[in-house]
Amino acid sequence: MKSLLFILLLFNSPRCTTTMVYVCNSPNATRYHYKADCRGLSNCQHRVIAMTLEDAQKSNKTLCKWEQ
């Protein structure tokens, strides 16, 4: 858990402005997640894929209700 936090801090560092998020690779998925092990992804029947926050928002995904 500590190492995951460290990776998230690296992604959010000023040198790297691209934030990666995780989405369920399903046509019905409408949420994006900051954590790959989020409980909101645990019932995903498809693959979990990583994309940039920008791409997730462009495809009209909204932040997972567990992480707001």
Q: Smallest distance, Å, CB 24 to Zn ion? A: 10
48: helix, coil or strand?
strand
The least distance separating Zn ion from the CB of residue 21, rounded to whole angstroms, comes to: 9
Among 20, 40, 44, 61, binds Zn ion (CB under 5 A): 40
Task: Decide: is 33 part of the binding site for Zn ion (CB under 5 A).
Answer: yes
How buried is residue 24: exposed, middle or buried, by Cβ count under 10 Å (0-12/13-18/19+)?
buried
Q: Residue 57 has which token pair?
A: 């928002």
Interface ranges with Zn ion (CB under 5 A): 33, 38, 40, 64, 66-67
